[in-house]
Structure 1
Amino acid sequence: MKIAVLKETVAGERRVSATPETVKKFIGLGAQVAVEVGAGAGASIADHAYADVGATVAGRAEVLADAGIVLGVQGPDPDTLGGLAPGAWIVAGLNPFGERARIDRYAALGAEALAMEFMPRITRAQSMDILSSQSNLSGYKAVLDAAAEYDRAFPMMMTAAGTVSAAKVLVMGVGVAGLQAIATARRLGAQVSATDVRAATREQILSLGAKPIFVEKVAGIEGEGSGGYATEMSDEYKAAQAELVSAHIAKQDIVITTALIPGRPAPRLISAAQVASMKPGSVIVDLAVEQGGNVEGAVAGEVVTVSGVRIVGHRNVPSRLSADASALFARNLFNFLSAFWDKEAGKPVLDEEIGNAVRVTQGGKVVHERLVS
């Protein structure tokens, strides 16, 4: 089985889908690995580092020739997959809802496309979950980005010239990214509060030393919600949440929003009026900006100032920590493929539970139930 590792072509994407560490492990399973020239450059991995562990380093056409599995961080452009064998696997983050036309083209190529963001959130798949590994880094980086834009210190400082008060940070959405944002802000010395629609997150917030802020008069989601994600809430809950946020947000120096709903635009959590209620010099980091944004006025790819508040809308936040993001992403892919590696067949053979969860195209058709109307 030949595994192809492609250089990412999306603007600003610095990650790579395999590292010398995982390439060596794939070769240990009996696979051949071909890496496109320059694939690791954005993550500070030189071509010779791949060659040193036994990979072939070549141009894209040679890398794709006879490949049974193609690895990517983001789904490769179908126009760049000339010569791909029918039935070859494309294993990457495919953004199936946002890039549906590309999924259709994978089907037309005869490829079997596996969307890693559809990995089920079950115990045995935790080490394969790209969303968790990358969101963890996003939550960390969001706090650093906020600190870079905030023109004051995070921790309380007592000096001969007077006391500097600790920054007040609110984290909205307590998934993987939110939890890491809480932990990072706490490590930097901020006073941290957090809110979520899922009741089960209250204990997690408290465990990190932050203050939970919850709507009390209207029921949210008991437990973790579907697959660990929040779901769309009632209009009554949204109104109560907006009232709670309005009362709390004006007192905050920094707000970090992380709320996403799979397959839908990001929920609007902060209105322009709420932004205007914050002190000049405050900072908001919108980690959902590429899915429509949690914050009114956020602009994808830009840092804008609205009513004296800086709203940070960086795209592809994990890629801004490309070395660590690549290492974790690559391990996710290796853990996935190696878990199903059949030594006799010399390739991975997926089981029904995970195979059906991640497979979006097969046999020239789009086959995933969430994509078939």
Structure 2
Amino acid sequence: YAEVAQLAVRTDVLKADMIISINPLTDEELKTIAKDTFLISSFEPFSDDKVIEKLKGLGLRAFSLDMIPRSTIAQSMDVLSSMASIAGYKAVLEAAMRLPRYFPMMVTAAGNIKPAKVIVLGAGVAGLQAIATARRLGAQVEASDVRAAAKEEIMSLGAKFIEVQGAADDKGAGGYAVEQSAEFLQKQQEEVQRRAAKADVIITTAQVRGRKAPMLLPKTTVEQMRKGAVIVDLAASTGGNCELTQNGKVINHNGVIIVGDSALANTMPQDASSMFSTNIYNFLKYISKDGQVNMNMEDEIIGGSFITK
């Protein structure tokens, strides 16, 4: 690092004109930072409704990485998508490691072994990566998503689409899923429940921006699953898609393993760091103009991610 950067203690770093961090600084650290300092981090203002007023009260200027819109021009800066891709990949490997059987079909002298059956709930970046990884490992995959555009994406990866009629799909939501009615969620639970009894693995990734994760796997569904089956819940930090999920824990419920982990990207630090740093580099290039920070709030990316207006 010394060849390309100045090595300094944390207190000196906090004196910089712009501070970039993976997670937000602590309240104690924020109080030591000079006014008008630029902060770039994932502040999650949809989940923490007080963070914007706190930062504005301290006179700080903040860009929130999780507010960068999901658009073609913003793809190279999209930290959420980068980390979700890693999480979806690692979720399948986690499930394969814990599952007491093969993923692919095997033809052996001792007989034929059927491929594992995998269900993926939510086909955003994490879900699509999970589908692709499970298919590469030879599993049979079914997947579900409330967005109309997801059907073609799911089928293009060789998975079957679990279709439930009546989903709300807001094209103005920037590529994110929107909150669904209780009636639709009930129909979706029933559709998944019919398949869950035969599933070896269920990977859940369904989240709604700024809301509690939808509950897609009630306790009754889990109790119909085979012993040895594995559920990996990537929505654990926002309440979980499975009723029994405990964030940050692995539990065994009647022989079904439930992994509650929304931070699987942390388990691949080399590629996660590389992708994160590239996203940040591209974001800095985009917001820089003549050596200054471009504060054009009419710009979709700048205006969308700058939260202390």
| TM-score, normalization by structure 1 | 0.79
- Which blocks of at least 5 consecutive residues in structure 1 are unaligned? 1-49, 362-366, 368-373
Tell me, yes or no, if structure 1 residue 326 matches structure 2 residue 273: yes
Which residue is 2:48 aligned to? 99
Instruction: Indicate conservation of the 8 Å contact 1:199/1:223, yes or no.
Output: no
Q: Distance in 2 between matches of 1:224 and 1:244?
A: 25
Q: Which runs of 4+ in 1 moved over 6 A?
A: none
1:51 is matched with: 2
Contact 1:200 1:222 in 2 (8 A): no
Task: Say yes or no: does 1:340 pair with 2:290.
Answer: no
The worse-fitting range, judged by mean Cα deviation, of 195-204 and 290-299 is 195-204
SS of structure 2 residue aligned to 1:247: helix
Structure 2 equivalent of residue 301 of structure 1: 248
Q: Which amino acid is the alignment partner of residue 191 of structure 1?
A: Q
The TM-score normalised by the length of structure 2 is 0.95
1:228 Cα deviation after fit: 0.9
Given residue 263 of structure 2, which amino acid in structure 1 is its aligned partner? Answer: N
| Cα distance in structure 1, aligned partners of 2:125 and 2:105 | 27
CA shift for structure 1 position 359: 1.5
Show the counterpart of 1:290: 237
CA distance in 1 between partners of 2:42 and 2:139 (Å)? 34
What SS is found at the alignment partner of 1:163? strand
Give, in angstroms, the shift of residue 338 of structure 1: 0.6
In structure 1, how many angstroms separate the alpha carbons of the residues matched to 2:170 and 2:209?
18
Partners of 1:131 and 1:347 in 2: CA distance: 26
Aligned to 1:63: 13
Is contact 2:66-2:80 (8 Å) kept?
A: yes
Per-residue CA deviation, residues 248-295 of structure 1 (Å, 9 max, x unaligned), is 111100000000000100000100000001000000000000000000
SS class of match (2:119): strand
User: Partners in 2 of 1:135 and 1:281 — Cα distance?
Assistant: 26
Instruction: State the AA in 2 paired with 1:289.
Output: A
Distance in 2, matches of 1:280 and 1:71, equals: 45
Query: For residue 145 of structure 2, what is the aligned residue in structure 1?
Result: 196
| 2:33 partner letter | L
Which secondary structure does the structure 1 equivalent of 2:33 belong to?
Answer: coil
Instruction: Name the aligned partner's letter for residue 187 of structure 1.
Output: R
Partner of 1:351: 296
Which residue of 2 is the match for residue 147 of structure 1? 96
Question: SS in structure 2 opposite 1:228?
Answer: coil
* Matches for 1:117-196 after TM superposition, within 5 Å: 117-196=66-145
- The residue number in structure 1 matching 2:195 is 248
Equivalent-residue separation in structure 1 for 2:184 and 2:214 (angstroms): 13
Q: CA deviation at 1:70?
A: 0.3
Matched letter for residue 119 of structure 1: I
Query: What residue is the counterpart of 1:27 in the other structure?
Result: none
Shift of the 224–174 alpha-carbon distance from structure 1 to 2, 3 Å rule, reads farther
